[in-house]
Structures are given as structure tokens and as C-alpha cells.
Amino acid sequence: MNPRQPCTPLHQVLRVYPSSKLLLAAPSNDAADLLALRLLGAGRPKSEILRINAYQRGKEALHEKLMDVSTWDDGDGAFRLPERGEIERKRVVVVTCLMAAKVWEEVVCNVMAAEWLVMTAVVSSNDRRMVHPVCCGQGGS
């Protein structure tokens, strides 16, 4: 896995639409982690990225470079769902497909849906360096 490999289609969206916000959903934790690592590795600032993990995921399963952009709560010993304001301040939110539904329902829907572009991406099974957006839609539509 090379986290410095750029996510070209994602960077194009971020460059062409400077006010865009992306909710990136990947089919697994490994794929979501890889997306976040590639965004960081390509120079996206940590302040723009949020990696939301499932509550039951162990801290040790997350790549150490993603702890700064995740919502680990030492008091609870678990990841937490961020507050709406925390998400609103980010430009890119990376989740698994399962967590995307929860984030959309609890945090994004009816509040800021029109601002978000939702993309589902997969990492090619035969070439883990390739990221392919497979579905893309404007939030609220």
C-alpha cells in the first residue's frame, strides 16, 4: 500500500470545485483508511479531513497517521460519532459504506445536504494503488 499515491479524481473535484465538500464512502475499513492516507499523503491538510470509524473498531486497527483525523475518545476507549459542527468544519469526510448511512441520517440529512457531494469509491483488488469512484451524486438530490 502506498499512501502517497494520489487520488486523482478526488483531487480534481476538490480543485475544480473549491467550495465542495466530499463524503467519501468505501466498502471496507482498509479501503477508507487508504483513501484518507492518500489524501494526506498528497498534501491535503489534516484540518480538512475527518475519518469516521465504527464504534466497535479497535484503536490498534487504525493506521497511526489517521489518529489525528479520527474521533477516538480515550475516556470511552472507542471511536465516537462526531457532532454536526465537527463535520461541517471539514471538507472531506471518509467513512465505510455502513457508517455513511449513519452519518448521513444523523448528521448531514436536512441540515447541510445540499453542500455535500457523495462519492463511493473502491480500491482495485488487483492493483491497490488505483482508486475508482463508482458512484457520485449531489447531496439532497
Does the structure show a pLDDT above 90 at 69?
A: yes
Q: Where are the domains of the chain?
A: 8-138
C-alpha cell at 14: 476538490
Residue 127's pLDDT is what? Answer: 46
Residue 102's pLDDT is what? Answer: 78
In Å, what is the CA distance from 20 to each residue of 64, 88, 134?
A: 27, 12, 18
Q: Pick the most confident of 15-19, 109-113, 137-141.
A: 15-19
Residue 119's pLDDT is what? Answer: 61
Residue 123's pLDDT is what? Answer: 52
pTM of the predicted structure, to 2 decimals: 0.77
Picking from 127, 139, 125, the residue whose alpha carbon sits closest to that of residue 2 is 127
Higher local confidence (pLDDT), 51 or 106: 51
What is the band of 115 on the pLDDT scale with cuts at 50, 70, 90? low
Chain Cα centroid distance, residue 70: 10
Chain Cα centroid distance, residue 84: 15
| Stretch 4-26: mean pLDDT | 74
Residue 24's pLDDT is what? Answer: 85
In one-letter notation, the amino acid at residue 56 is Q
